[in-house]
Chains A and B, each alone.
Chain A
Amino acid sequence: MVPIACQARNVSVAYRADPVLRSVNVTVPVGSVMGIIGPNGSGKSTLIKAMLGLVKPLTGTSEFFGQPLDQVRHRVGYMPQSASVDWDFPTTVIDLVTMGTYGELGWIRRPGKAERARAMAAMEQTGIPELAYRQIGELSGGQRQRAFLARTLVQAPDLFFLDEPFQGIDAKSQQAMIDVLRDLVAQEKTCVIVHHHLATVRDYCDHVTLLNGHVVASGPADQAFTKENIRIAYEAREGAEAFLETAA
């Protein structure tokens, strides 16, 4: 049996009285890349936010390496959507990436040389070391994503939650992103990726959870990511129809 990296049990989320997620059960084995796939508004981001305690679930619990998040926070990394922050904030890329060390520093202690050196190393991994002293406002969409990914790498987690890492990204950044993902897989790290581009799901993910307010299917890509399940998750949405036709 492969050990479990994280697990959502019976997780439901409602904004006011409107259900967004109904009784979601997802199990992510250690070493897998789990794609969270579904149409807009299907609750993809909400699911990982609920698991990470950023949104209060109405029912259910989440476990990470068999424990509640508070016990194992240092082993869990998170890359938010890049649109979630103000890129005109007055700071440099290296300072942004160094924020990944703040968790282990804890309250009040400041980052020093060692933390900045680690930030630099992470930027080399994502291919942006030359941007270290740039203003974050000067970065392109793809560079922003790579800076955010570097910040997540600096956290040195065993489990990565990546929310739309391929959103608004150029080909070069996409390749850098994929290389890092391959490295992580080779190191037996686990990734949970929110992704909405059906055609590339198979390239990145070996496990898939198809969402549409509830879990349509969840498991190894071969079993979960089937035409039938995609059709159910996307109902009759045009994008999915086009994808299914080309795939057939």
Chain B
Amino acid sequence: MIDPIEFFGNHIFRMVFFGTSVTGLVAGALGSFAYLRKQSLISDVIGHSALPGALLAFLIAVAVLDANGRNMLGLIAGAVITGTLAALFANSIAVRTKIAIDTAMAISLTVFFGAGMILLRIISNGPFPGKGGIDDYLFGNASVITVADLATSIAVGAVALVLMLVFWKEFTLRTFDPVFSTVLGFRAGVVDTVMFATIVIAIVIGVKAVGVVLMIAFVVTPPAAARQWTSTLPGLVALSGAFGAIGSGVGAYLSVALGNVPTGPLIVLTLFAVFLVSLLVSPRRSIITAALRRARAREALRRELLAETADR
């Protein structure tokens, strides 16, 4: 095992640690709104569909602009565009046809992800500079995060978090009671666009560090775990962000300490451990105490009913 001093003394490990922690913080905090709006699955559509966008951004950068194909800002922009298109595509199928939304989402996810896989092959077969390790976009590679990448992640993540804080009241109202929000005069399109933008950023910010396949876990698992412990919205967002950041940091540390274990998957397992503990032992929503309470109540009811028939 590597000790913490050695870990933080190493530049690459530091980048892995902070890169994933920032991803975890932003995704966890903003994921709370996706969770409350019951948009976990559409978030997965966005995550997988970020692949062709990230790769198109690479192609445009190297083939057209003659620039660095791994530029984080370009990567995020491309991912946001195809991720959003995929979500809109799924929605418009569901609205315009009798096809149910889950089917529409599966169709959209697979077609965008499939297109991404074809682009991946085109890039690895073509003469593009800097194409080595391009398939890291699938499962992430936190060890290639540069200082510039980290700075970009922090800046983009901060913009999303600030938007969330500025529009806190509107986000809350629209999430809890969308119809009432409209009656009060808050344009649904405006609130939804801003909220959707922040959620998409939360999802795609992890493209480089954790990859498109597992990013969804950063958005969905922390709020599901945090909801077990808190019953206020500020509490949920703060705790979910903390779970995301700490879970990512711990997972990143473990991936280095255990030697040559991929970072993204280990973080996902760490977040799952947090989720599992939350399900089992949280004070008010523990599934164990809930089951015990139910069993006791049933037993009391049974005795009562038996006593009633005995009286007769």
Q: A90-B233, A91-B232 are in contact. Are A107 and B177 (CB under 8 A)?
A: no
B interface with A by C-beta (< 8 Å): 36, 166-170, 172-173, 175-177, 179-186, 227, 230-233, 235-236
Q: Please name 20 pairs of A and B residues whose Cβ atoms are closer than 8 Å in the assembled complex, sorted by A.
A: A49-B179, A54-B182, A54-B183, A70-B185, A73-B184, A80-B180, A86-B36, A89-B36, A90-B227, A90-B230, A90-B232, A90-B235, A91-B232, A96-B176, A99-B177, A103-B185, A108-B166, A110-B169, A135-B231, A151-B180
Q: With both chains docked as a complex, state the minimum distance between the C-beta of A223 and any C-beta of chain B, in angstroms.
A: 31
Give min CB distance, A175 to chain B, whole Å: 25
Across the interface, do B170 and A80 meet the contact criterion of CB distance under 8 Å?
Answer: no
Interface positions of A from 64 to 90, Cβ below 8 Å from B: 70, 73, 76, 78, 80, 84-86, 89-90
For residue B37, which residue of chain A has the nearest CB? A86
**Which residue of B is nearest A85, CB measured?**
B177
Q: Which residues of B contact A41 (CB under 8 A)?
A: none
Please, which residues of chain B bring their CB within 8 A of the CB of A135?
231
CB <8 Å contact, A108 and B169: yes
The residues of B that contact A78 with a CB separation of less than 8 Å are 179-180, 183
Q: A73-B184, A102-B184 are in contact. Are A91 and B166 (CB under 8 A)?
A: no
CB distance from A107 to the nearest CB of B (A): 7
Q: Say if the beta carbon of A53 comes within 8 Å of chain B.
A: yes
Residue A24 at the chain B interface, CB threshold 8 Å: no
Contact yes or no, B169 A80, CB < 8 A? no
Q: Which 3 A-B pairs have the closest CB atoms?
A: A103-B184, A78-B183, A90-B231
Interface majority SS on B: helix, strand, loop or mixed? Answer: helix
Size bin of chain A's contact surface: 20 to 34
> A54-B179, A80-B180, A91-B232 known; A99 and B168 CB under 8 Å?
no
B186 touches A107 (CB 8 A): yes
Question: What total of A-B pairs shows CB separation below 8 Å?
Answer: 70
User: Which residues on the B side are within 8 Å of A128 (C-beta)?
Assistant: none
Min CB distance A63 to B, Å, is 16
B167–A108 touching, CB < 8 Å: yes
Nearest CB in chain A to that of B230: its residue: A90
Beta-carbon nearest neighbor of B183 in chain A? A78
CA distance A80 to B170 in the complex (A): 18
CA distance A109 to B167 in the complex (A): 9
Q: Would you call A84 and B179 a contact (CB within 8 A)?
A: yes
When the two chains form their complex, are residues B176 and A91 in contact, meaning their CB atoms are under 8 A apart? yes
Query: A residues 104-119 with Cβ under 8 Å of B?
Result: 105-111
Which of B172, B176, B235 counts the most A-chain CB atoms under 10 A from its CB?
Answer: B176
**A73-B184, A89-B176, A102-B184 given; 19 more Cβ-contact pairs under 8 Å:** A53-B182, A54-B182, A73-B185, A78-B180, A78-B183, A84-B179, A85-B177, A89-B233, A90-B230, A90-B231, A90-B236, A91-B232, A99-B176, A102-B181, A103-B183, A103-B185, A109-B169, A137-B231, A151-B180
Q: Please state if B36 and A102 are interface contacts (CB–CB under 8 Å).
A: no
In Å, the complex CA distance between A76 and B185 comes to: 11
| Cα(A52)–Cα(B170), bound, Å | 19
Check if A229 is an interface residue, CB within 8 A of chain B.
no
> In whole angstroms, what is the CA distance A54 to B169 when docked?
20
Establish whether residues A111 and B169, one from each chain, have CB atoms under 8 Å apart when the complex forms: yes
Residue on A with the closest CB to B181? A102
CA distance A111 to B232 in the complex (A): 16
- Is A174 among interface residues, defined by CB-CB distance under 8 A? no
Closest beta carbon of chain A to B235's beta carbon, Å: 7
